[in-house]
Structure 1
Amino acid sequence: MQDTMKIAIVDDEQDMRQSISQWLALSGYETETYASAEDALKAIGPDFPGIVVSDIKMPGMGGMTFLKKLMNMDSALPVIMITGHGDVPMAVEAMQMGAYDFMEKPFNPDRMTDLAKRAVQARRLTMDNRALRRELSDGTVLIRKLVGTSAVMERLREDILDLAQADGHVLIDGETGTGKSLVAHALHACGPRAGKKFLTISCAAYSDEELAAKIFGPIDEGTALPLVEEARGATLCLEDVEALSPTLQARLLTLINDQADIPEVRVVAICNHHEQDRSCEDALRPDLYYRLAAMKVVIPPLRTRGEDILTLFNRFAEQFAEEYGCPAPQVAAKEAAQLLQAPWPGNVRQLINIAERAVLQSRRGSGSIVSLLLDDTTDMSHAISTEGKPLKEYVEAFERMLIDNTMRRHKGSIAAVMEELSLPRRTLNEKMAKYGLSRSDYL
């Protein structure tokens, strides 16, 4: 199949329904057919995972009424209208009502395929954006994205939940690629402002004058409000806060000082300044730093997270393998040890890149994870060292990864895992308990 999204075909003429359905099916799409608009409305909801192709003239509920109901239900749903000869004025009216496009009977199959392809792409973008917005407003989902069983990650999740409820200003610090933006969203989504806006701006992306106008106003853009006004009762996330000029740092400090114990605007500041051994404290004026850092979250670098590295690598590799339609690469014991020892200057973002490249080269049947670590653009040359950690740590990390991978592959079937790993049930249960693995996570 070219696409997992559906195409609902609505036409009272059976031959026309079948003709359109067969052609789109040959083009790789999954189709559903309906003899009336009434039947179609029973199956099509606001988040229908696909598009609609509908005739304009039908007995009972006509195509225009059908289109109006669909647009009222979900204005972003692509609807392609099919018109008879001489119905072009009606088709134009349909476009004004929100139809995606129209075709005349007898339809051109190639035009139908092209329209369907573009409409499906537009629908997928809409659905992806909606899913992202839902994720960014769901604190539970965001916390689950902070994967890892290491002590530093357990503490990070606890800190997020505590500071989110405290509802004060927060400073987020950490190396590049550690997930500071994700933590900022989680702080907002887990707190009392979860239903309010989360506004973000990069302080490094604008000139001093532009930044002052966008944050504090005035703005010469119609009815647009400065961020400090728009974020009343909500959260304002300042990325690259260290890029604020001394003047704007002073204005931000005044804003914070003028607010009561429970701030009207909650400021979540993200610091990315880690060059030339300078810290965030060095980059900000002391009084602003201490006001923000009263609640501070430091994201742990990947190299300190132990076996989380293997867990994350496997997760990303599985995702990319599904995307590229190939098996995920199997990690050998030596490669697992090297992944654990790598310095990871780019942190999780770098690990994602390595996982994707590992899947691509595995699909070609060549290369190794070792070569990827050595070929990476950053200095990873000492990743092949076998010094630094006790052998027991590597053995346990590899053992956990092996059981985790096998459980995932067999979807939680204990019997299948016992057979593949040649382990008695009691031993498998003990090892799963030791490594914090639960069968329910794989079902």
Structure 2
Amino acid sequence: MAEQMRIAIVDDEQDMRQSISQWLALSGFKTETFASAEDALRQIGADYPGIVISDIRMPGMDGMAFLKRLMSSDSSLPVIMITGHGDVPMAVEAMQLGAYDFMEKPFNPDRLTDLARRAAQARKLTLDNRALRRELSDGTVLMRKLIGTSPAMERLREDILDLGQADTHVLIDGETGTGKTLVAHALHAVGPRAGKTFSLVSCAALGEEELSARLFGPCQDGLPLVEEARGGTLVLEDIESLPNTLQARLLTFINDQGVPAETRIVAIANASDPSGSCEESLRTDLFYRLAAMRLNLPPLRARGEDVLTLFTHYAETFGDEYGATPPQLTAQEAAQLLQAPWPGNVRQLINLAERAVLQQRRGTGSISSLLMADTEEQGQTPQVTTEGKPLKEYVEAFERMLIDNAMRRHRGSIQSVMDELSLPRRTLNEKMAKHGLSRSNYL
């Protein structure tokens, strides 16, 4: 935490600035100092990646005026005020204005470190949440998360762009772990409602009474979702679990909106639900209102070499996260990944990639053993193959993965990839063209 967060120290007394900076630097923080509030404001704005420690009494702009300026720019920025003995009432006023906390001189350095660490943790959480909200409202970012070049994924991305603009109710179904909620976010982000409210609730996670209150009110905290999402998108996960009484209320809500709908409903159904299909679980009139447009997400086993692309992507991501070298697939492991049944789909593959990276860091085990363990846990026959595919498909998928991985490692350096794979330039160019790989994507 400490190494990820900056601390801006603002005090007109040089000795005080330096002593606080040195102490916090020893505690692992990255510090920067400013002799005046005016200097600090030139560097500190909204989304400042850290916290602020400021004296109250300073010439020019004092700490109180400085705090007000910071709060007007970013009300979630943690600001710790340093006060003299006579400034305690002023410090209390600063807390009312939004300061994170205050310390009275002379202060205990250990307490300052603890306070700074807690403030930094709060700041990181705030910035992470903001980044997530931005990501979930950025259609370009979300579409890039739909990884894969298989025909099924190409069609899915085209359908999302089309249905996003159509702005009608949508039913998304597919097996567990195929990314249905991500697709719902993408539909919202690429359409005319982008930037407006996106509300989501699981119909299976709440009891009927609680779900009724959450959807239609009365709510103890905030607005019911049908009001909260007005003008935006309301996503209903596990729609097949919606009780009959609430199905009637939802149908009334949809009918009362007219055309075009003020609130867009995106219903998500679990196609692998053992209780039956979504169409069997819902009233016929509600089903056809929700399924005005329909998206069926492909299972991972139907996406061909996307399996290898996804595994490589997530293995590299977890490798960065854990400071470990991601495992390099052998031909046998690649074939096993391509043949695995993947009942948990992309979610299962992500978990496998993370375990493979941790296993690689310890220097034990194999991807084959992880796949076998997954199969046994699911109560299936301990094998990782489903229906056979032509050998040519496995060879081409493995070849594409090797070239793709080498291009990633060498950041698009053709000469380095030629040397690693022992390929002449013309052969490498032909194979890249055949597999749809472009050097520009790796630079």
Partner of 2:163: 163
What code does the residue aligned with 2:268 have?
A: I
Shift in Å, 1:6 = 1.4
Shift in Å, 1:438 = 2.1
Cα-to-partner distance string for 1:315-342 (whole Å, 9 max, x where unaligned) = 1111111111121121111111111111
Distance 2:25 2:230 in 1: 51
Moved more, 241-250 or 224-233: 224-233
Moved more, 276-285 or 309-318: 276-285
What are the within-5 Å matches in structure 2 for residues 12-31 of structure 1?
12-31=12-31
Shift in Å, 1:61 = 1.4
5+ residue gaps, structure 2: none
Q: Give the 3 Å change call, closer, same or farther, for CA 83–225 of structure 1 in structure 2.
A: closer
Distance 1:253 1:97 in 2: 46
Shift in Å, 1:152 = 0.3
Distance 2:241 2:358 in 1: 38
Shift in Å, 1:343 = 0.8
Of the three residues 231, 234, 243, the one matched with 1:233 is 231
Q: Is the 8 A contact 1:341 1:383 kept in 2?
A: no
Shift in Å, 1:216 = 2.8
TM-score normalised per structure 1: 0.94
Q: Is the 8 A contact 1:5 1:50 kept in 2?
A: yes
Secondary structure of 1:87's partner?
A: helix
Partner of 2:324: 326
Moved more, 107-116 or 238-247: 107-116
What code does the residue aligned with 2:435 have?
A: Y
Partner of 1:347: 345
Q: Is the 8 A contact 1:373 1:381 kept in 2?
A: no
What are the within-5 Å matches in structure 2 for residues 118-133 of structure 1?
118-133=118-133
Cα-to-partner distance string for 1:101-146 (whole Å, 9 max, x where unaligned) = 2223343222222112111111110001001111111111111111
TM-score normalised per structure 2: 0.94
Q: Is the 8 A contact 1:274 1:280 kept in 2?
A: no
What code does the residue aligned with 1:397 have?
A: A
What code does the residue aligned with 2:316 have?
A: E
Q: Give the 3 Å change call, closer, same or farther, for CA 288–188 of structure 1 in structure 2.
A: same
What code does the residue aligned with 1:411 have?
A: R
What are the within-5 Å matches in structure 2 for residues 3-402 of structure 1?
3-217=3-217, 219=218, 221=220, 224-272=222-270, 274-276=272-274, 278-376=276-374, 377-379=377-379, 381-385=381-385, 388-402=388-402
Moved more, 274-283 or 192-201: 274-283
Q: Is the 8 A contact 2:412 2:440 kept in 1?
A: yes
Percent of aligned pairs with the same residue?
75
Q: Is the 8 A contact 1:149 1:308 kept in 2?
A: yes
Distance 1:225 1:102 in 2: 35
Shift in Å, 1:425 = 2.0
Secondary structure of 1:68's partner?
A: helix
Shift in Å, 1:382 = 4.9
Shift in Å, 1:381 = 5.0
What code does the residue aligned with 1:170 have?
A: V
Q: Is the 8 A contact 1:147 1:312 kept in 2?
A: yes
Q: Give the 3 Å change call, closer, same or farther, for CA 273–150 of structure 1 in structure 2.
A: closer
Q: Give the 3 Å change call, closer, same or farther, for CA 144–411 of structure 1 in structure 2.
A: same
Shift in Å, 1:14 = 2.0
Partner of 2:419: 419
Distance 1:254 1:273 in 2: 26
Q: How many residues align?
A: 441
Moved more, 405-414 or 180-189: 405-414
Shift in Å, 1:97 = 1.5
Cα-to-partner distance string for 1:364-421 (whole Å, 9 max, x where unaligned) = 1111111111112325655544961112111111121122222222222222222222
Distance 2:175 2:439 in 1: 34
Moved more, 151-160 or 84-93: 84-93
Distance 1:261 1:117 in 2: 52
Q: Is the 8 A contact 1:343 1:380 kept in 2?
A: no
What code does the residue aligned with 1:221 have?
A: Q
Q: Is the 8 A contact 2:336 2:368 kept in 1?
A: yes
Partner of 1:429: 429
Q: Is the 8 A contact 2:315 2:326 kept in 1?
A: yes
Distance 1:51 1:59 in 2: 22
Q: Give the 3 Å change call, closer, same or farther, for CA 277–398 of structure 1 in structure 2.
A: farther
Shift in Å, 1:212 = 2.6
What code does the residue aligned with 1:83 have?
A: T
Q: Is the 8 A contact 2:341 2:386 kept in 1?
A: no
Cα-to-partner distance string for 1:221-268 (whole Å, 9 max, x where unaligned) = 37x433323333221111111111222222322333344331122111
Q: Give the 3 Å change call, closer, same or farther, for CA 385–245 of structure 1 in structure 2.
A: closer
Distance 2:236 2:71 in 1: 37
Moved more, 21-30 or 350-359: 21-30
